[in-house]
Structure 1
Amino acid sequence: MLNTQWRVLFVFIVLLIASALIANHLTGRVFNYHDPIGSVRAIYEDIKTKIEMAEESELTAIKTIAAPSLSAKTAMQKHLPQADTTRCVDVSLGKVKYKRNGNIYTWTDSNGVPHFSDEKPDFEAATLDTDFVEPLDYFELTLHAANLPPSFTEELRIKLNTVFKVYGQIIGVDALKKVRLNLTVFATRRSYEQAIKLRGADPTNTDGMYFHSTNSALINYRNEQSAMRTAVHEAVHAVNKAILGSTPRWLNEGLAEYFEYTKNSMQLVSVEPHPGWVNNKRVAQSVFTINWLIGLDDTWQTGDDTKLYASSWAAIYFMMDSNKGKQFLKSIMLAEQKSPCSKLTAAELKNMLYQHFPQLDKDYRQWLKTPFRKQSF
C-alpha cells in the first residue's frame, strides 16, 4: 500500500516536471509551482487553441486552393482599404466653408407681372432672401500622375464635387467636412505593385488601395477610364473616413462602387448603374439580401468578394432610389459620424433598417426585378 502511494507521488512529480517543460517549449508560459493544477489547465488550453488555429488555417488553405479562379475583369474590381491602425482622430480639414451668393430683388410692374433679378434696379424694390450659398471648397486634392493629361484632374474634381453634393443632400451641408485627398497613379503594373509591397500590403487582384494611416491611395493605370473610376472609388474611402469615421465595410465599399459611374452635364448630376454588376438593366448575378449583408462585415477577407461587392453596390443603389432609402442612409451616416471611433453593430443597423422598411425583403425583391435606371440629383 505504501509503495503504491509513493509511486503515485512519483508519477505526479514527473507530470509536473513534464508540464513545465511543455510550457516552456510550446507556449512560452512560465510554470507556476504554487498552483500546479492551474498551470496544467492553462497549458492544456494553450495547446488546444494552437491545434484549433492550425486546423482552421489548414481548412482555409484547402478552401483557397479549391476555390475557382476569378476572371481578370472580376478580380480587378477589388479595391482593398487597409486596416485602420491609426488612432481615432479627426483626419478632416474642418468644416466646409460657404459664401453667400447674394439676394434676389423682386417687384411687380404696372401690369401686375412679377419680376425677379439679382441686380438691384434703379427704383425701390423688395429683396427676396433665398439663403442660397455655394461652397468655397470641399477638398484639397493632391494628384501624382505624370502620364495623365491635365483634363483628368479637372474631370476628377468635378466627379468628387458630385460626391460631396450628394452627401450634402443626404446628411445636410452642415455635416460635411473638408477632406484632404492624396492620390498617386502609377504608369505600370510593376511600379504599382512595388509601391504596395513597400507599404506591407498585397497588390494581388487589385487596381487600387487606400491606406488609412497616411490618408492616401495608390492606383494602377490600365487606361484613362479605369484610372478615373479607381481614383473616384479610393477617394470615396478617404471622404468616408474624414466625414463619417469608421464605417461598416458594406457601406464603405457600396458607396465607393456607387460613385464610380457619375455623369456630369452642366448643372445636371446623375449616377448610372454599374456595368460590372448590371447587364440588360438587371443585376447580373445573385446578391445577398440587405439584412444578411449587414451581418457579413467580418467575412470580407475570406468570403466571396465578387458577391460582396455586387451586393454592397446594389444595397446602396436601392437606398438611393427612394426618399425613405435616403432617410435610412442619413440616419446611419449621422450615427457613424457621431461615434467615429466605432461602427454600428449589425443589430443596431437592422433595427434602423426595419424602421424605414418594415417589409424590406419584399420591397427589395420587387426592386431587383425592375429595370435599373440612372439616378439624378
Structure 2
Amino acid sequence: METRLSRYILLLILLVVIGLLVHEEKNSGSGLTPSQIAFELFAANRYKAGLFCREKGWDFCDKWADYPRSQFSSVNAALPHESTEFNLTGVKPYPMVQEFSSDSQSRLVVNEVHTSSDNSSALCAEPMAKTVKQDKPKQQIYSWTDDKGQVHFTDDARQGDQHNLSLTSYQDPEYSFDLAVKSTGGRLPLAFKDKITAAIKKVSEIYEVYLPTSGTVPVSVNLTLATTKGSYQKLQSQYAPGLGPSQGFYQAQYNMAAVWHRSDKQAYQTSVHETVHVINARLFGPTPRWFNEGLTEYFEGIRMSGYAAKIPPREWKRAFSGKSVSLDTLFSAKQETWAGSQQTMLYSQSHSLVHFLMSTPKGKISMKALLAHLVETRCAPSDYASILNNYPGGLKRLQADWVSWMNSERYRTQSF
C-alpha cells in the first residue's frame, strides 16, 4: 500500500513539473521543447552557482561559470565582464567548433581600438607619465681585439689606455617595470600583498620574454586595493565617476589600477586583470579589443609556486559547444557588440586565441612579431592583421590551427 501511494505521489510531482515546463514553454515563445527547457534551466542555475563560487574563491565549483550559458542567465553586477544573456543553439555535448569562413580575410577590420575611460589619448600625448621613473643612461659597450685575434668586450672605457677600444652598437634592453601596491580603507594581510606582488612581477617577466629588446617605454603600475565597499566607491567616484557597478577599474593616464578586495581569490584575479590593462596601455597605447582583453583573461589565471608560475587553460571545447568561432567575428566586433549579449563569447574567444598564440611554437613567433609591431606603432594605427597574416599559411591557416587546437583539446597549462 505504501509503495503504491509513493508511486502516486511521485507521479503527481512529475505531472506538476511537466505542467510547469509546458506552461513556461508556451509563455516564453522560445520554441524549445520541455526537455530542452529543463536543460536550459539546469545550465542557468549551474552558471549562477559558478559565478557565486568564483566570487567566494571556491575552487571545486568555480569552473561551472565557464560552461555553456543558458538564455535564462542574468547579469551579475559584481562581475562586469559577464553579459546579460547568452543564447544556446543546438545544445549538444561536444560538437566540433565550426570552421573558418572562406571570405573572412577580406572583411577584417585592422585598425579598431579599445576606447574607454582610461584616457589613452592623453597618455599618448604625454609619453612619460609623472609616476614613471625616468630612463637610466644607456650602458656603453666597447670591443677590442688581442694579438691572437680574439674579440673581447668591456663596459670600462678606461681600458682604452691599454687597448684600442671600439664602441659597439649594443644597447641595454629598455623595458623596465615598477610596481607599487597599497591599500585604502584598511590594511591588507601581508601574505596577500606579497602574493599579488609576486604574481604581477612574474607577469612582467613573461611580457619581457615576448617583447622586443629595445624601443619599449618604462612601465609603472600603482595598484590600490580597497578593503571596504565605501573606500572602493570613493576611488571610483574620484577616478572613474562614469563607471557602473564593478569590482575593479584602471586609469592608464595615472598608471593606476583599483580593486575592491572582497575575497582573496577575487581580488587576486581582478588585480592581475586590471594591472595587465595598465601595462598594455603603457607599452602600446590603444590596442585591439581582442588583444587587450585576451591578455588580461590569460594572465589573471596565473598561479604562483615560489618563483615559478603556471597559467592554466579553460575548457574551451566545452565552452564553445555548438558555437561558431572565427577570427573575422573576433577582429571585426564593434564596441556595441562587446557591450551586448555576445560579450562573454568574445572574451572567451580572445582568451583562447591569446593562449594559443602564447603556447604553441608558431603562435609564439606570431605573438612576438605582434608585440614588436605594437611597440613600433605605439599610439598610432596598427595593421595587426597583416602581422598575423605572416603566420605560416596566413590567417586562414591560423584560424584552422586554432580551431583544431581547441577541438583536439591540445591546450595545456603553461609553466614559466
TM-score interval (norm. to shorter) = 0.5 to 0.7
Cα distance 1:96–1:155, how it changes in 2: closer, same or farther (>3 A)?
farther
Higher relative contact order (CA 8 A, sep 6+): 2
Q: Is the 8 A contact 1:255 1:316 kept in 2?
A: yes
Aligned-pair CA distance for 1:374: 0.3
Question: Which moves more between the two structures, 198-207 or 239-248?
Answer: 198-207
Q: Deviations over 1:130-169 (max 9, x none)?
A: xxx9999731314225342112222122112211221121
Q: Structure 1 193/151 Cα, relative in aligned 2: closer, same or farther at 3 Å?
A: same
Instruction: Write out per-residue CA displacement over residues 290-342 of structure 1, whole angstroms, 9 at most, x where no aligned residue.
Output: 34312225343446221221111111011112122122122222212112112
Q: Aligned equivalents of 1:297 and 1:328: distance in 2?
A: 24
State yes or no: 1:304 paired with 2:304: no
Give yes or no for the alignment of 1:337 onto 2:379: no
- Percent of aligned pairs with the same amino acid: 24
Residues 244 and 152 from structure 1, CA distance in 2 versus in 1: closer, same or farther, beyond 3 angstroms? same
Taking only aligned residues, the RMSD between alpha carbons, in angstroms, comes to: 3.4
**Corresponding residue for 2:10?**
none
Q: Which residue of 2 aligns with 1:171?
A: 211
1:185-264 alignment, distance < 5 Å: 185-264=225-304
Is the Cα contact below 8 Å between 1:179 and 1:242 reproduced in 2? yes
**Amino acid paired to 2:404:** Q
Q: Distance in 2 between matches of 1:187 and 1:204?
A: 19
**Corresponding pairs, count:** 271
Per-residue deviation, residues 159-186 of structure 1 (Å, max 9, x unmatched): 1221122112112444554322112222
Partner of 1:351: 386
Structure 2 unaligned regions, length at least 5: 1-70, 84-114, 140-171
| Aligned partner of 1:319 among 349, 352, 357 | 357
Cα distance in 1, alignment partners of residues 341 and 392 from structure 2: 27
Structure 1: runs of 5 or more not aligned: 1-66, 100-132
Greater C-alpha radius of gyration: 1
What is aligned with 1:86? 122
Q: Give 1:83 shift.
A: 4.1
Change (3 A) 1:135 1:78: farther
Q: Distance in 2 between matches of 1:357 and 1:287?
A: 23
Cα distance in 2 between the residues matched to 1:301 and 1:219: 21
Deviations 1:252-278 (A, max 9, x none): 1111111111123344332112xxxx3
State how far apart, in whole Å, the 2-side matches of 1:87 and 1:264 are.
32
Q: Deviations over 1:220-261 (max 9, x none)?
A: 222011101111111111111222222112111111111111
1:210–1:237: 8 Å Cα contact kept in structure 2? yes
| Larger fraction in strand | 1
Q: Deviations over 1:197-229 (max 9, x none)?
A: 343534435221111232212212220111011
For the pair 1:156 / 2:196, whether they are aligned, the reply is yes
Question: Structure 1 residues 166, 257: closer, same or farther in 2, change over 3 A?
Answer: same
Q: Is the contact between residue 118 and residue 250 of structure 2 (CA under 8 Å) also seen in structure 1?
A: no
Report if the CA contact (8 A) 1:81-1:211 is conserved: no
* Distance change >3 Å, CA 262–CA 81, structure 1 → 2: farther
- 1:144 correspondence with 2:144: no
Q: 1:172 and 1:355, CA in 2 relative to 1: closer, same or farther beyond 3 A?
A: closer
1:70 corresponds in structure 2 to 74
Q: Distance in 1 between matches of 2:402 and 2:82?
A: 25
Between the aligned partners of 1:163 and 1:144, the Cα distance in structure 2 is: 21
| Alpha-carbon spacing, 1:135–1:241, altered in 2? closer, same or farther (3 Å) | closer
Please state if 1:361 is matched with 2:396: no
Give the equivalent residue in structure 1 for 2:311: 271
SS for the counterpart of 2:194 is helix
* TM-score, reference length from structure 1: 0.62
The answer on whether the counterparts of 2:173 and 2:214 sit within 8 Å (CA) in structure 1 is no
Does the Cα contact within 8 Å between 2:276 and 2:295 map onto a contact in 1? yes
